[in-house]
Amino acid sequence: MKGTVLYGPRDVRFEERPDPTIIEPTDAIISLPFTCVCGSDLWPYRGIEPINQPRPMGHEYCGIVEEVGSAVKSIKPGQFVVGSFATSDNTCPHCQFGYQASCVQREFMVGAQAPYLRVPLADGTLVALPEMPDDDLIPSLLATSDVLGTGWFAADAANVKPGSTVAVVGDGAVGLLGALSAKQMGAERIIVMSRHEPRQKLALEFGATDIVTERGDEGVARIKELTDGIGADSVIEAVGTQEAMMQSIRATRPGGHVGFVGVTHGVELPGLELFFSHVHLHGGPAPVRRYLPKLIDLVLNGAINPGKVFDLTLPLKQVAEGYRAMDERRAIKTLLRP
Ligand SMILES: [Zn+2]
């Protein structure tokens, strides 16, 4: 098969790769009707996260089970499944506590920007749908695999409750779906920070009530102004930079919560400011597996349409253009068709 490999900054190649095979008896092989590019793929693409050898790319996936290893019990060939970017046995103590992205057997998925994928720990990682979904639901199911699961975790970690005032820092797919998640959780006010019109429009469609175009200290001041000088109850940080993290902490009211899910790059927290902020901080790689059954249900019953974050569809062989479009912010998120 052909798959996507990143060789270095802005060097994405679609090239011949070995067909995935069962290596461990707990593996499954799935075929992918669609795949996609993640905002987090842009860190190594931009060279901000250095890579020292060619890396097979792609960690968001859903598809049809083709083959399972001899120890796989619940997942069967022919099922349509969704999994997380982090594999999990779903039985260890961390999994039992709902932190499957910290599973003792965790591996981070790679190689999903391809037609076929090997998924380790199939029974614990994959969630099977009761039947084959309609084709038009597949982009939304694919979104549950990472960007929605991550946005949902961010809102949950930020303690969003019915009636909450929520601010979202970051207008990528995760931030936008954080707004959607906050809406589902009953937030009354959802302030999204964005300067890009297509993203503002989608944020409003997903449930945002206010858009703030200022950033940094001015952005914080604007959120304070919108909240009678108090700050937001819950802030979703979906970028991962120092500026975004500090903006999130400073926009949160004393006693409020920040859910941070942007993969942090060079973030350093000032202890004394944190001490006096009275802010709860919780985040990290989202335990998407915890939320998958619920998110899949919401998609299947038509309550949400997170697949709207895909505003560019390309054939998989044009994956390099898919990265470019996201890097240049011409696309929110690229969907790829094998
Ligand atoms: Zn586990």
What are the sequence ranges of the domains in the chain?
A: 2-147+287-337, 151-283
Question: How far apart are the CA of 118 and the centre of ligand 1, in A?
Answer: 18
Pick the CATH number of 2-147+287-337 from 3.90.180.10, 3.30.70.100, 3.40.50.720, 3.40.50.10800: 3.90.180.10
Q: How far is the CA of 72 from the centre of ligand 1 (A)?
A: 16
Q: Would residue 73 be called left, alpha or beta, if left means φ above 0 and alpha means ψ between -120 and 50 degrees? A: alpha
Task: Please classify residue 131 by burial: count the beta carbons closer than 10 Å to its beta carbon, then call 0-12 exposed, 13-18 middle and 19+ buried.
Answer: exposed
Helix axes 173-184, 149-157, angle to 10 degrees: 60
Distance 101 CA to ligand 1 centre (A): 8
Residue 102 alpha carbon to ligand 1 centre in Å = 7
Residue 136 CB neighbour total at 10 angstroms: 9
Measured in Å, residue 291 CA sits from the centre of ligand 1 at 15
Cα of 112 from ligand 1 centre, angstroms? 22
Distances (CA, A) of 95 to 8, 103, 281: 34, 6, 21
Between the CA of 107 and the centroid of ligand 1 the distance, in Å, is 11
Q: How far apart are CA 228 and CA 244, in angstroms?
A: 22
**97 C-alpha vs ligand 1 centroid, how far in Å?**
9
Topology annotation, domain 151-283: Rossmann fold (3.40.50)
Ligand 1 mean position, distance from CA 90 (Å): 5
Ligand 1 ion local residues (Cβ < 5 A):
88-89, 92, 95, 103
pLDDT per residue as tens, the chain (338 positions): 999 999 999 999 999 999 999 999 999 999 999 999 999 999 999 999 889 999 999 999 999 999 999 999 999 999 999 999 999 999 999 999 999 999 999 999 999 999 999 999 999 999 999 999 999 999 999 999 999 999 999 999 999 999 999 999 999 999 999 999 999 999 999 999 999 999 999 999 999 999 999 999 999 999 999 999 999 999 999 999 999 999 999 999 999 999 999 999 999 999 999 999 999 999 999 999 999 999 999 999 999 999 999 999 999 999 999 999 999 999 999 999 98
Q: How far is CA 152 from CA 43, 159, 175, 199, in A?
A: 22, 11, 10, 18
Q: Please list, in sequence order, all residues whose beta carbon lies within 8 angstroms of the beta carbon of residue 153, skipping any fewer than 6 positions away.
A: 259, 261, 286, 287, 288, 290, 291
Residue with tokens 């001490």: 275
Q: Do domains 2-147+287-337 and 151-283 have the same CATH topology?
A: no
Question: Which among 10, 334, 12 is positioned nearest to 173, based on CA atoms?
Answer: 334
